[in-house]
Amino acid sequence: MKAGRLMALLVALLTIAAAPVGTVWAASSSSVTPGEILVQPLPGVPAIGKPGDIVEIHPVEGVAIDSLQIVSILHGPYDLQIVGTENGVIKAKIPEDAVPDVYFLVVKSDRGEVTIPNGVWVMKDAPTVLRIAHGSDLHVTSGSKMGFVCGDYFQKSIPEILQYCDHPYAMHSYTAADSFMTYYAMTGLQSENVINLIISTGDDVDTNGDSEGYKMFDEAILHGTAAGTPLISIKGNHDHPPTYYNKYVGPRYFYEVIGDFIIIGLDSRGEERHPELEQLQWMEEVLKSHPDKVPIVLVHHPFWYSTPDGKWGGTIKGYTAFDDGDWQALTGFISWDWEGKNGEYDEIARTFLQLVEKYNVRLVLAGHIHKDKPVLYIDKEGNEHWFYTVTTTGAPDKTSNPPSQADQSRGYTTPSWYGSQVIYVYENGTVKFPLAGDVLHEGISSLPIPQKFIVYRQNGEDGTAVKFVNELDNAVSGPFVLEIPEGAKVDPEHTNITYTVLGEREIGGTQYMLLNVTVPTGVSQITVVKSTDAQAPEVKIGYLMPSKPKPGQRFKVYVTANDNVGIRDMKVQIISDGKVLAEYPAFSMKPTEVEATYYTEIPGVDANEFTIKVIATDFYSNTGETTYTVGGSTSTSSPSQTTTESGGSTCGPAFIVGLALLPVLLSRRK
């Protein structure tokens, strides 16, 4: 037991990370968070309007707002004119000459200053079609939550994914969230207009008390919204209670008016798994006061458990929640989360469906169950109400694809992946799935984003670099945002995507670059550096788990690494008698950090003595290496020096200290 607790401590120590680079309010004059100054707008709930419109700013009670300003990488800054206050809500006017964009909101108050990404969406025209990119259950964490993918395949461990491909990719929950935001921003408002709004239906982070996780989530929001496409998010049970959610993302429940559409975000809370009755009464008041709008509802927990077609989803037709007999039949299809196992929440479930029918809610989006569940409810009047539940966009803890033996033994047999969906809602209320087509079928109906479009960002002291993995059938073009060191420029010699720099600006203490890029299929990269990188990565083997693996026993290798720009790839070789027996990829457990812990899993080595060799490669093909010998009389770690040809120049040697961290940490523990 002591050994187990000690090893758990070591894992925790090696996975602790600092706050992510580029959190915009970190550079403000005070340490306040956005939610300590404003209730709304916040990064997950922007203010929305056209040039000349009046928008509402809701300060936290007791906070005095001194000034409001909006700025984007290309436009502004513009001052928002405060034209009045009503019941504590500030009325602010968007300038007539404001260029349509998604803006940071700079708020100065008596409690400090904050710069909020996705603060104000200035529309050119109100949309006649709401083109939604729907993701859910991003489960961003400052810890390690990771799955592995290649093509359509998704598995939960490295040995499992290596059964299907030789070159898998790691999908940390932050990487998945950031890739999701980045992809849809590239195809969004400022590009092909495939979508004009990104929506997340809860479980934005994995643990409600993870403040660093919320900062990472906001960083992903920034990468999408600063590229010109807005986002709206609601909370899930993993965000409950909203210890940090209200400080970094948004209020518990809210509504947004976008032209002819109204989006209502509900809070289905934690263990309760449904909204309280008072919240539904508030929802009805909102719907009553917006009778001419097409309503869309966001709620984390799905309403339906099954349909006459099965548990996967399907069609429910010819009922109404206003008829007692019909309602009794409908309760057989409703999730216990809403109805209760013994009908104890019956009033809440019935009230909700009555509101859906009464106000003709055309679309209800949800998540939570980590698999796709499309349900079309056609009421007795013939009105169609879509309830679409999307699979997890960022969490690798449900059914793999194909289902592994471990999953099948737990009863998980329906495959899933890292997915999202594109849904169009027209001003007449028609709902379509333009990219997925017919979604009323069993199995996966979501799109493979971010499964097949992955963005790995590295922000080093001397530069910024990004590795793209595009396994879609086509190149992806559109706006792309980077945080960069001051004075850094794109290095065309070490960039193999097509790009145009659109502009740069310092906002909230961080330097941003906005580009228009085309990411080809396959693996590609962009580097933005102060000068050509001639420095090799530093790499050390930290420890093994178990520390002394027996022949044939599976074990993990943990590696610490750092670089001045970023590490592109890492691999671990198993060497015996001078021959490479096997080679495995190693992946970062902290993708927001350049200095991080990497790990891999070795399925077993049939030898009493062997050498582990780790090779880290940066974006300039500089390599850092170290070795660790297992077995024999002792286990030893050896440093190495490398000189690498890169771009026609010879990089100088990098001295890398090989150190086994385990004895040091053990002594500290004692």
pLDDT for 659 equals 30
Whether the Cβ atoms of residue 179 and residue 251 lie closer than 8 Å to each other: no
Spatial separation of the C-alpha atoms in residues 665 and 269, rounded to whole Å: 40
Whether the Cβ atoms of residue 24 and residue 116 lie closer than 8 Å to each other: yes
| Beta strands 112-122 and 47-49, pairing class | parallel
Q: Cβ–Cβ contacts within 10 Å for residue 577, how many?
A: 9
Backbone angles phi, psi at 447, to 5 degrees: -95, 150
- Per-residue HEC secondary structure of 300-358 comes to CCCCECCECCECCCEEEEEECCCCHHHHHHHCCCECHHHHCCCCCCHHHHHHHHHHHHH
Task: Tell me 470's DSSP state.
Answer: E
Half-sphere exposure of 241 (CA within 13 A, CB side): 1
pLDDT for 5 equals 44
Structure confidence by residue, pLDDT tens digits, 120-135: 999 999 999 999 999 9
Spatial separation of the C-alpha atoms in residues 375 and 380, rounded to whole Å: 16
Whether the Cβ atoms of residue 358 and residue 383 lie closer than 8 Å to each other: no
Spatial separation of the C-alpha atoms in residues 165 and 526, rounded to whole Å: 26
Spatial separation of the C-alpha atoms in residues 524 and 323, rounded to whole Å: 58
DSSP bridge partners of 639: 626
DSSP bridge partners of 92: 55, 82
Q: Cβ–Cβ contacts within 10 Å for residue 228, how many?
A: 24
Spatial separation of the C-alpha atoms in residues 450 and 135, rounded to whole Å: 10
- 34 Cβ contact partners less than 8 Å away, ≥ 6 residues apart: 25, 42, 43, 107, 114, 116, 247, 248
Strand, coil or helix: 133: strand
Structure confidence by residue, pLDDT tens digits, 349-398: 999 999 999 999 999 999 999 999 999 999 999 999 999 999 999 988 88
Q: Which two tokens stand for residue 295?
A: 């309503």
pLDDT for 15 equals 43
pLDDT for 189 equals 86
pLDDT for 4 equals 45
Spatial separation of the C-alpha atoms in residues 662 and 555, rounded to whole Å: 15
Q: Which domains does the chain have, with CATH numbers?
A: 2-18+534-669 (2.60.40.10), 126-432 (3.60.21.10), 453-529 (no CATH)
The residue among 391, 139, 127, 421 whose CA lies nearest residue 259 is 127
Whether the Cβ atoms of residue 233 and residue 199 lie closer than 8 Å to each other: yes
pLDDT for 642 equals 52
pLDDT for 397 equals 82
- Per-residue HEC secondary structure of 258-291 comes to ECCEEEEECCCCCCCCCCCHHHHHHHHHHHHCCC
Backbone angles phi, psi at 652, to 5 degrees: -70, 160
Q: Which two tokens stand for residue 44?
A: 């997950």
Spatial separation of the C-alpha atoms in residues 340 and 349, rounded to whole Å: 9
pLDDT for 399 equals 87
Q: Cβ–Cβ contacts within 10 Å for residue 578, how many?
A: 6
pLDDT for 520 equals 99
Q: Which runs of consecutive H residues, i.e. helices, occur in 535-643?
A: none
Spatial separation of the C-alpha atoms in residues 69 and 71, rounded to whole Å: 7
Spatial separation of the C-alpha atoms in residues 460 and 565, rounded to whole Å: 4
Q: Dihedral sign, CA of 28, 32, 38, 41? A: positive
pLDDT for 413 equals 87
The residue among 247, 228, 197, 252 whose CA lies nearest residue 23 is 247
What are the angstrom distances between the C-alpha of 378 and each of 67, 225, 293, 317? Answer: 49, 35, 20, 5
pLDDT for 640 equals 57
pLDDT for 153 equals 97
- 662 Cβ contact partners less than 8 Å away, ≥ 6 residues apart: 10, 542, 543, 544, 547
Spatial separation of the C-alpha atoms in residues 527 and 333, rounded to whole Å: 53
pLDDT for 666 equals 30
- The list of the chain residues with pLDDT below 50 reads 1-22, 25-30, 635, 641, 643-670
Spatial separation of the C-alpha atoms in residues 223 and 238, rounded to whole Å: 23
Spatial separation of the C-alpha atoms in residues 82 and 348, rounded to whole Å: 40
Spatial separation of the C-alpha atoms in residues 611 and 581, rounded to whole Å: 10
- 95 Cβ contact partners less than 8 Å away, ≥ 6 residues apart: 51, 52, 78, 79, 80, 81
Spatial separation of the C-alpha atoms in residues 415 and 400, rounded to whole Å: 6
Q: Cβ–Cβ contacts within 10 Å for residue 151, how many?
A: 14
DSSP bridge partners of 68: 107
Q: Dihedral sign, CA of 266, 69, 515, 617? A: negative
One-letter amino acid of 106: V
Spatial separation of the C-alpha atoms in residues 546 and 312, rounded to whole Å: 41
Question: 86: alpha, beta or left, given left = phi > 0 and alpha = psi -120 to 50?
Answer: beta
pLDDT for 262 equals 99
Whether the Cβ atoms of residue 37 and residue 111 lie closer than 8 Å to each other: yes
Spatial separation of the C-alpha atoms in residues 183 and 179, rounded to whole Å: 6
